[in-house]
Structure 1
Amino acid sequence: MLFNRSKDRLFFKIMVDATTNIAEAVQLFRENVETLEEKEAYAERLKELEDKGDDYTHQLIRELNQTFVTPLDHEDILKLAYTLDDVIDGVEACAARFVYMQVDKTNSCLIKFGEILEKSARHLHDAFIALEKRDYELIRKISIEINLLENEGDRLMREGIMELFADPVDVVHLIKMKEIYEKLEDVTDAFEDVMDIMESVVMKYA
């Protein structure tokens, strides 16, 4: 299938723009967890980017409803739209938790999660650029990289929770951080979910 019609380019542009938005959100998240000193300001900015992500999702759905012939199957585009939305929703939700759970101090686990998410976001952006170019081999390589980062996130979550329970001086703090670690690992899962859909697309068109 040729991806050269103006409508085709529009679908890919919206998805690439959505990943650019995710990359910006994740960069802000990583900056936030370096100190958590301005967590309220970061949470507000991330909410704006999450709203922007919703707009991209709505744009894709609107274009799907108005277009009979699309560059990818309708169902695949819809799945990609929703899973991209899951990623930025998860990032925003974690930033919000720092505020309403009153988490004032960062730690090495949060900083490492920020680095994992930032790498994942860069790879995701590259994958959607590769999709329009039909560079399926690059998509497969990126999928492997994001899978490795998801595994790293899973390991980091387990180690972080283990450390919390090793010396549970403050039970309330333990409950807060356990939930945040688990939510952050969910975000790494969401990145992997997007790539699982991408790989299924590659199998159809490669």
Structure 2
Amino acid sequence: MIGSKKTDPFFASLLNIAKNVQEATHYADDFRIQTVADLKEISVKVKNYETAGDKLIHELIVMLNKSFMTPIEREDILQLAVRMDDILDGVDDFTANLEMFSLIEIDDSMRTFLGYIVKSTDEIVKAMELLAQKKLLKMHENSVLIKDYERKCDEVLRSSIKQLFLNEKDPIRIIQFKDIYEKLEEVADYCQNVATTIEAIIMRNA
């Protein structure tokens, strides 16, 4: 089913979804929170990315419903889109919880999580660019890197929670920070889900 050199509109749509997710994660990582007002600003901006992502997903679904032929299975296209959107929802949840807790202290663990998540979304964009070029086998390299970043996030979660219980005496702050760490690790899991979907697409179409 994959043949012509012209970029397929479905692959172009997936790439747009991936780029929106990438922009959102880069924004969250680059933003420097100093005041409670900053928490509102980052939360609103990420929510805008999430809303834009929902619009892109809707447009893709409309296109799927109208099309008789798709370059790969329509279920794979939709699953890939939805799993990328999960990342955006997770980042939105993370920033919303920062605002809810009025938590302006972004510690090293959070920065490390965000760094790996950003790298994962960079790899997702690269994979979608390869998909648009119909270079499916090369996407495997991106998938491997994403899974490695998720594994590193698992290690960060374990070490950060251990240090939290060792050093923090305030039970409220323990609950807040633990919740944030777990939400960030969940975003890394969503990135891994994208990698798993990519692998399935390669297996069925390459």
Q: Which residue of 1 aligns with 2:139?
A: 139
Q: Which residue of 2 aligns with 1:25?
A: 24
Q: Which residue of 2 aligns with 1:184?
A: 184
Which SS does the other structure have where 2:138 is aligned?
helix
Does 2:157 correspond to 1:157? yes
Which SS does the other structure have where 1:137 is aligned?
coil
The normalised TM-score by structure 1 is 0.94
Higher mean C-alpha displacement, 34-43 vs 13-22? 34-43
Q: Are 1:21 and 1:49, in contact at CA under 8 Å, matched by a contact in 2? A: yes
Q: 1:148 to 1:5 in 2, by over 3 A?
A: closer
Q: Are 2:39 and 2:102, in contact at CA under 8 Å, matched by a contact in 1? A: no
Q: 1:151 to 1:78 in 2, by over 3 A?
A: same
Distance in structure 1 (CA, Å) of the matches to 2:121 and 2:160: 22
Please give the per-residue CA displacement for 1:99-135, whole angstroms capped at 9, x wherever unaligned.
0111121210011112111111110000011112222
Q: 1:180 to 1:3 in 2, by over 3 A?
A: farther
Distance in structure 2 (CA, Å) of the matches to 1:70 and 1:137: 19
Q: Are 1:113 and 1:153, in contact at CA under 8 Å, matched by a contact in 2? A: yes
Distance in structure 2 (CA, Å) of the matches to 1:193 and 1:3: 27
Q: 1:3 to 1:132 in 2, by over 3 A?
A: farther
1:82 maps to a residue whose letter is V
Deviation of 1:159 after TM superposition, in Å, equals 0.9
Q: Which residue of 1 aligns with 2:61?
A: 61
Over the residues paired in the alignment, what is the CA RMSD in angstroms?
A: 1.5
Percent identity reads: 28
Count of paired positions? 204
Which SS does the other structure have where 1:135 is aligned?
coil
Q: 1:151 to 1:71 in 2, by over 3 A?
A: same
Instruction: Mark the runs of 5 or more structure 1 residues left unpaired by the alignment.
Output: none
Pairs within 5 Å for 1:60-99:
60-99=60-99
Q: Are 1:30 and 1:115, in contact at CA under 8 Å, matched by a contact in 2? A: yes
